[in-house]
Amino acid sequence: MLFKTQPANAGLNIIIVGCGKVGSTLVERLTGEGHDVTIIDEDAERIQELADYYDVMGIVGNGASHSIQEEAGIQNAHLFIAVTESDELNLLCCIIAKQDSDCSTIARIRTPDYIKDASYLCERLGLAMVINPELEASREVARLLYLPAALEINSFGHGKVELIKIKIAEDNLLAGLTIVEFSKRYSSNILICAIERNGEVFIPSGNSHIEQGDMISFLGSREDAAGFLSTIGFQTHKVKNTMIIGGGKASYYLAKQLLQMGIDVKIIEQNRKRCEELSILLPKAIIINGDGTDQELLVEEGIDHIESFVPLTGIDEENIMLTLYARQVSDAKVITKINRMTFKNVIDQLELGSVFFPRYITAEKITAYVRAKKASINSNVETLYHMFDSKAEAIEFRVNERSEVTNIPLMDLPLKKNLLVACIIRNGLPIIPTGRDDIQIGDTVMIVTTHTGFNDLQDILA
């Protein structure tokens, strides 16, 4: 069965198999960036809904079927993405897609045994990328527990620098300062890149003020960032322990990373068989068989003394209620997993601490890859993060060849407004640039902007 509306924008031809949370988010992002998207799923109602809303072609059927892929136009596809709930089906879809097309293929794989073989699978099956939402999300959560003062941490330059989001309290030392005053008073290795105030996001100038209640994102190395946060009164030591509610794949990946970081882990999981599995997989963790939403059990297991609390159930409402309870009875660093975006305005008012959306973490990895495929030979998208609910972007470009932006002092470049060249990484060393610095071949350049859709570094020019 075929549902078809004519795609409105020119771009890459992309086929997406699987229209669950991740698949629908990819449709939203990639159509928004002007690509021609075709979706495949066995759920006719879901296909109809997405085809109508996003103006894409939809095909009802098995994405691993050769005839279904032909109907979707696999011969002319630039990119094939399989994100069904089955790892094996995703791999099979990609294998079949490669038989009749030179397209790049991306598979969602979540099973730990397969993830161990990710490099082998990419090499042997010709995959461009293996994506694991739970693993990517766990890495983000682990960074936050290493530096609990932060609301968000995004890593650039292979970990050389981090973009960190914090909230300015009433008595914070930064409240009332202009950016110029901030620069004179604090380390030159720290750069304030973006400010969100009353729902509006802007790239600050020298005369911009930092105000109470602002959400600011600043850039620096992990060491410089920790020192800066300590100076302005934020907690900077990593948490000593964490309590995780739910024993799914995300909990496993997170616990494994935290244990490697020297953080004690306690997991509460209701399914006894899964508890037995986790006790074998994570022998250094404490595994509790019980209902993580049981208030008495949480108190018994020490929620009032825990340093961090991460509810990872599959139900958003449970995660939210557990976070609110933890904030009420403890001073723990709380991190909330949310899958759906409904009632987001209400959620934003609940003071849930750090909130992460696994589907968007996955979508950003793939969007960065897609933009890299569209880029010129002069530069390439390495990393992409959406900031402040997609009101701004932080993008990392690799400079491959000489272009209109190379070897010219930044002060002499006609840059777009609401854009900041935040960092240049040269020979492995990060530079917070001044107007006298220039961009050179071989550099990695990070920009922060309220514009969207940059594919090439030259897009920074007005």
Tens of pLDDT, residue by residue over 192-202, are 999 999 889 99
Instruction: Indicate the pairing of strand 379-387 with strand 354-356.
Output: unpaired
pLDDT of residue 340: 74
Return d(Cα 456, Cα 384) in angstroms, integer.
12
CA 358 to mean position of chain CA atoms: 7
pLDDT of residue 3: 43
Tokens 């899964």 sit on residue: 274
Indicate the burial class of 462 (C-beta count within 10 angstroms; 0-12, 13-18, 19 or more).
Answer: exposed
Put the strands of the sheet holding 308-311 in their side by side order: 286-289, 264-269, 241-245, 308-311, 333-337, 354-356
Task: Delimit the domains of the chain by residue range.
Answer: 7-131, 137-231, 241-356, 363-460
Q: Which residues of the chain have pLDDT under 70?
A: 1-10, 341-348, 375-379
| DSSP for residue 411 | G
Task: Identify the CATH number of the domain defined by range 363-460.
Answer: 3.30.70.1450
Return d(Cα 452, Cα 201) in angstroms, integer.
13
Indicate the burial class of 167 (C-beta count within 10 angstroms; 0-12, 13-18, 19 or more).
Answer: middle
- Contact 107/127 with Cβ under 8 angstroms? yes
Q: Given 1.20.930.40, 3.40.640.10, 1.10.645.10, 3.30.70.1450, which CATH number is that of 137-231?
A: 3.30.70.1450
Instruction: Indicate the pairing of strand 429-431 with strand 379-387.
Output: unpaired
pLDDT of residue 379: 65
Same fold? 7-131, 241-356: yes
Task: Identify the CATH number of the domain defined by range 7-131.
Answer: 3.40.50.720
pLDDT of residue 4: 41
- Whole-model pTM? 0.82
Query: Per DSSP, what are the bridge partners of residue 163?
Result: 154, 219
Instruction: Indicate the pairing of strand 36-41 with strand 104-108.
Output: unpaired
Amino acid at 290: G
pLDDT 10s digits, 14-48: 999 999 988 999 999 899 888 999 999 999 999 99
pLDDT of residue 345: 64
Nearest-10 crossing angle of helices 133-146, 358-374: 110
Domain 241-356 has CATH 3.40.50.720: yes
pLDDT of residue 320: 92
For the chain, what is the radius of gyration of the CA atoms? 23
Query: Per DSSP, what are the bridge partners of residue 438?
Result: 409
Residue 415: count of CB within 10 angstroms of its CB = 17
